[in-house]
Structure 1
Amino acid sequence: MPVVVSYQGEPGAFSSQAALQAFPDCELLPCATFEDALAAVSEGKARYGMIPIDNSIAGRVADIHHLLPRSGLHIVGEHFLPIRFHLMGVKGATLATIQTVQSHIHALGQCRKIIRKLGLKAQVAADTAGSARQVAEAGDLTRAAIAPHIAAEVYGLDILMEDIEDEKHNTTRFVILSKYPEFARQGGGTTVTTLIFQVRNLPAALYKALGGFATNGINMTKLESYMVDGRFSATMFYCDVEGHPEDAPLRRALDELSYFSKEMRILGVYPAHPFREGMAEPAQ
């Protein structure tokens, strides 16, 4: 039986593209929300979840840093998807007829220049592919959507402009989630370790906690903070580092981090995606 992969969005969404690239023969399980996509993995409806976590233009995807630790799921892989946005409308629509454009808030934010140039009114929708479906169902020549190329094919829309993203480096990083941990093999190539931690309430605790990474030569590729339960006095940190916890340098760094932290948890140890080395090709 094919592997089932859950994602947030509708058929034709970027997340579905990422899932098919990572698991070419998978069965896709579209979900209305990120919570639903995570729950599908927790409840065994899906083997994996494909969840966007960062974008090179818009930054981190809202709520994911809160949802991931609480989900109890494990990161078992990552996938980078170069993003190409297209402006689309119903048959007969042109740049002269459209007045409004709808898409996911991140998509709108990543295509600000063309929206302003065309004088369109932006409308926030749940996701990109869903916007394409809604425009197709409305049959209104004044409405357009920003969505992936495949969404135009799925919903029978005409592409009015291609590659309208503000920056050509536009790329989204996804994490692949599983109910069960699948730690990468030590020595099997470049490895990424993702963890969360909360430092003790001591002077210079964060500085001291992170010192072990510097002294042990560990490359930290990501460090972000987010509030815990709405409390200004409680901050959790989300961190990506290169290396395997069984490697002596990273083991020493994590020991030092643990000493200065009131909580620390590894979310995943997984192979680095080839995109990190510049080997991935843009998706259309």
Structure 2
Amino acid sequence: MSTPIAADARHRIAYQGEPGSNSHLACQQRFPDLEPVATASFEDCFAAVESGEADLAMIPIDNSVAGRVSDIHHFLPTSPLHIVGEHFLRIRFALLGIPGATLDGVKTVHSHVHALGQCRRVIREHAFTPVISGDTAGAAREVKEAGDPTQAAISPPLAAEIYGLEVLLDDVEDEDHNTTRFVVLSRDFEQAPRGNGPVVTSFVFNVRNLPAALYKALGGFATNGVNMTKLESYMVGGEFTATQFLAEVDGHPDDPPVRRALDELAFFTTEVKVLGVYPADSFRAG
């Protein structure tokens, strides 16, 4: 695990979804001593930290199967919150039914649209009819409330414990590498110290509308030997000529190579905003 984040001063951590979701599980794994706070949407999750209702937020940002969580990439650049940590969670789904339900009796399977897409094999093999729910844990709650043995949920195993369901099948996800990366957000900018283990620096920037501007902007990272682990783009304000990039690099801004690369980046951009400088999770070394 990465270096703990001032846990003695923390009490609550917000996540999007219902109890029993993967985000809930990530909170339990990373901060077992904090009280998890469920929120209905990502906006509510961000707002809980901004208002002081929660001290931290656990936010999914990428999945090894589904790719990036697009909403988060739009919230981060304008949010006053800062990335202070990361956590990688191996995603495991189970097929859950009410007590007494049998696998042969299941007709419909409920889950979030992404979870259904990540568990196509079991759905196809058993000829289940997929039903989209708003949340994987919410699907488990809905199945329990319905009390119908022909309905099942594809949900994290934690949801079975919370909602009193039985596991009909374990590990129903298609890919055994299914992993979600979460970032931990805080109101305070807590920069990881230099020289105390691997560090990740996350930042956003807007390139100038000039020929080869992106090529020139990124050239400094190559010439200074800085490893860029993420580069994603999206439009700003609906304008096709204005593109914003989210980038992550290995290293600390005070490391001379990273500092030189960021200085060079500034020449070819209209804005550079550092979102966080935080310890790299040990999963990266895996």
Aligned-pair CA distance for 1:2:
5.6
Mapping for residues 47-86 of structure 1, pairs under 5 Å: 47-86=55-94
CA deviations on 1:78-120 (whole Å, 9 max, x unpaired) are 0000111101111222222212111122211111111122111
Equivalent-residue separation in structure 2 for 1:69 and 1:2 (angstroms): 24
- TM-score normalized by structure 1? 0.95
Q: Residues 224-239 of structure 1 correspond to what in structure 2 (within 5 A)?
A: 224-239=232-247
Q: Does 1:214 align with 2:222?
A: yes
- Residue 116 (1) aligns with residue 141 (2): no
2:3 is matched with which residue? Answer: none
Contact 2:94 2:154 in 1 (8 A): yes
Equivalent-residue separation in structure 2 for 1:140 and 1:227 (angstroms): 45
1:195 to 203, 207, 230: 203
1:146-184 residue CA offsets vs partner (Å, 9 max, x unmatched): 111110011011111100111101100000000110000
Match of 1:264 among 257, 272, 280: 272
Pick from 64, 88, 103: which aligns with 1:95? 103
Following the alignment from structure 1 to structure 2, what is the Cα–Cα distance between the partners of residues 98 and 62? 33
Deviations 1:227-266 (A, max 9, x none): 2122222211111100000110000000111110011100
The amino acid across from 2:152 in the alignment is A
Question: Aligned equivalents of 1:43 and 1:260: distance in 2?
Answer: 35
What does residue 171 of structure 1 align with?
179
Taking the aligned partners of 2:209 and 2:247, their CA distance within structure 1 comes to 19
CA distance in structure 1 between the aligned counterparts of 2:151 and 2:79, rounded to whole angstroms: 37
Match of 2:250 in 1: 242
> Which residue in 2 is equivalent to 1:153?
161
Partner of 1:218, secondary structure, is coil
Corresponding position: 1:16 with 2:24: yes
Deviates more, 1:11-20 or 1:176-185: 11-20
How far apart, CA to CA, are the structure 2 residues paired with 1:126 and 1:46?
23
Contact 1:13-1:147 at 8 Å conserved across structures:
yes
Instruction: Encode CA deviations 1:194-249: one digit per residue, 9 max, x unaligned.
Output: 00011000000000000001000001111111121222222111111000001100
Matched residues, percent identical?
62
C-alpha distance in 2, partners of 1:263/1:124?
40
8 Å CA contact 2:90–2:179 kept in 1: the answer is yes
Which has the higher mean CA deviation after the structures are superposed, 107-116 or 22-31?
Answer: 107-116
- In structure 1, the residue matched to 2:52 is 44
Aligned to 1:281: none
Distance 2:109 2:255 in 1: 50
Aligned-partner residue type, residue 172 of structure 1: T
- How far apart are the structure 2 equivalents of 1:223 and 1:121? 37
**Count of paired positions:** 278
Q: Distance in 2 between matches of 1:249 and 1:241?
A: 11
Question: Is 231-240 or 204-213 further displaced after alignment?
Answer: 231-240
Shift of 1:62: 2.7
CA RMSD of aligned residues (A): 1.1
TM-score (norm 2): 0.95
CA contact (8 A) 1:2 1:27 kept: no
User: Which shows bigger deviation, 31-40 or 122-131?
Assistant: 122-131
Distance in 2 (CA, whole Å) between partners of 1:275 and 1:34 is: 25
Residue 47 of structure 1 aligns to which amino acid in structure 2?
D
* Separation (CA, whole Å) in 2 of partners of 1:99 and 1:14: 25
Match of 1:143 among 129, 138, 151: 151
Structure 2 unaligned blocks of 5 or more:
1-8
Is the contact between residue 209 and residue 241 of structure 2 (CA under 8 Å) also seen in structure 1? no
